[in-house]
Amino acid sequence: MSKRDITIVSAIAVGISLSLLGACGNSEPAATDTSAAAAPTTGVSLADVCPATIVVQTDWFPESEHGGLYQLMGDDATASKDSGAVVGSLAVNGQPTGVNLEIRAGGPFLESPVVTEMYQDNAITFGYVGTDVAITRYTDAPTLAVFNALNINPQVLLWDATKHPGAKTIADAAKTIKSFYVYGDPAWMRYFEAQGLIQKDQVDSNYKGNLLLSTEDAAHQGFATSEPYKYANLESGAITTGYQLIHDAGWNSYAQNLAIRKDRLEELRPCLENIVPIFQQAQLDYIADPTRANAIILTTVAAYDSWWTQSDGDVANGAGSQKEMGIVGNGDTQTFGDLEEARVNDFIAKATPILREQGLEIADITASDITDNAFLDSSITYQG
């Protein structure tokens, strides 16, 4: 191990319960109640059906929105700044499954988009692929989403609510705010322009990720589960933010889907049949009690030793906000983690013309081309 590697177990061994919460104690025995303790699980083995190491390529640094993955990380986990990855036993309720789990950071650790990495590196089992990205890349790099941990995309546009008390929506904010800062040229902003919510000359594509409301009267993109808390706890003085989810403004893409390369479906089928329900339950266990997984997230962030930081408050707020805001939920069915056909088809219909206007080659597809709910356990449901 290099000097820049950190063994995570030493940081989480003290004062942290290893018990995870799961299913029991409601009127429907088949359903998962996130408020009840799980019975001990034994005999869960993935060794004969899955790759020796399950590699998940995320889209960003470790954060609470990735919590369900870290819920499955064993106590032997080790994070490396050199690789931008944390590796350990994949454990269910503390019991090893016979395979390892490797969670790779995204953002600056990637030389190309997640989907491109998936097609360049066969070691990657799953990647974070939003519905909009799956549509965009279907022609050259088709993917298939098999699980969604976040029913609602936490992406927002936010502003200073004290300076703009009448702004309750993005359209309201655009009436009094001159500049909206975003990363690059997101398709959802093109959609808002087409819907007349924001004018094209109001959009600035040079957002750097900073908390610019402390220095500028503007709006910028962020996560509802992150930036409002950060602004409320600024050392220079709290800022109360107003915001609207881009989901509520009409861009209802699923974010952070766990997806595979479509050409690997048959190869991975035996693994998917066993591991997808584990992903479902792990996300519910994380929302029920994020303590242990959050400790691993914090230690991993420290190991990466970059400009990206997370505090105890950041990750606790992130997990709590996912629950309180309905970011995590069942959607229109009782199956947790499914990708609803009607919603995906509706999104394809609204996104396709926007993406084509950007000069992209977009195939004529339907929900079944980019999503597959067959591996989900329909009895696993979110009780709130």
The structural domains of the chain, ordered by start, are 5-151+253-370 (3.40.190.10), 155-245 (3.40.190.10)
- Give the pLDDT score at 384: 81
Write the burial class of residue 315 (CB in 10 Å: 0-12 exposed, 13-18 middle, 19+ buried). Answer: buried
Helix, strand or coil, per DSSP, at residue 303: helix
Average pLDDT estimate for 356-384: 96
Q: Which residues, 6+ apart, have CB-to-CB distance to 365 below 8 Å?
A: 135, 138, 348
- What is the DSSP secondary-structure string of 313-371? HHHHHHHHHHHHTTSSS-TTSSSTT---HHHHHHHHHHHHHHHHHTT-------HHHHB
CA atoms within 13 A on the CB side of 253: 25
Helix, strand or coil, per DSSP, at residue 108: helix
- Give the pLDDT score at 1: 40
Are 143 and 113 a contacting pair, CB within 8 Å?
no
Interhelix angle 291-304/312-324, rounded to 10 degrees, is 130
Are 354 and 187 a contacting pair, CB within 8 Å?
yes
Where residue 43 falls among pLDDT bands split at 50, 70, 90?
low
What is the spatial distance between Cα 307 and Cα 196, in angstroms, rounded to a whole number? 36
Q: Which residues, 6+ apart, have CB-to-CB distance to 361 below 8 Å?
A: 139
The secondary structure of the chain in percent helix, strand, coil, rounded to multiples of 5, reads 35, 20, 45
Phi, then psi, of 329 in degrees rounded to 5 = -175, 180
232-290 per-position pLDDT tens digit: 999 999 999 999 999 999 999 999 999 999 999 999 999 999 999 999 999 999 999 99
Interhelix angle 341-357/187-194, rounded to 10 degrees, is 90
Among 308, 296, 304, CA closest to 83: 304
Q: pLDDT above 70 covers what percent of the chain? A: 89
Q: pLDDT above 90 covers what percent of the chain? A: 86
Write the burial class of residue 78 (CB in 10 Å: 0-12 exposed, 13-18 middle, 19+ buried). Answer: middle
What is the spatial distance between Cα 301 and Cα 213, in angstroms, rounded to a whole number? 25
1 vs 360, more confident: 360
- Give the pLDDT score at 27: 33
- Give the pLDDT score at 17: 32
Average pLDDT estimate for 331-347: 97
Where residue 12 falls among pLDDT bands split at 50, 70, 90?
very low
**Prediction pTM value:** 0.88
Where residue 208 falls among pLDDT bands split at 50, 70, 90?
confident
Alpha-carbon distances, residue 86 vs 93, 249, 281, 286, 309 (angstroms): 19, 36, 21, 18, 16
Out of 2-11, 180-189, 264-273, 300-309, least confident range: 2-11
What is the spatial distance between Cα 40 and Cα 18, in angstroms, rounded to a whole number? 11
172-194 per-position pLDDT tens digit: 999 999 999 999 999 999 999 99
Are 313 and 321 a contacting pair, CB within 8 Å?
no
281 vs 11, more confident: 281
126-177 per-position pLDDT tens digit: 999 999 999 999 999 999 999 999 999 999 999 999 999 999 999 999 999 9
Residue 38 has pLDDT above 70, yes or no: no
The partner residues of 155 in beta bridges, in order of sequence, read 223
- Give the pLDDT score at 42: 52
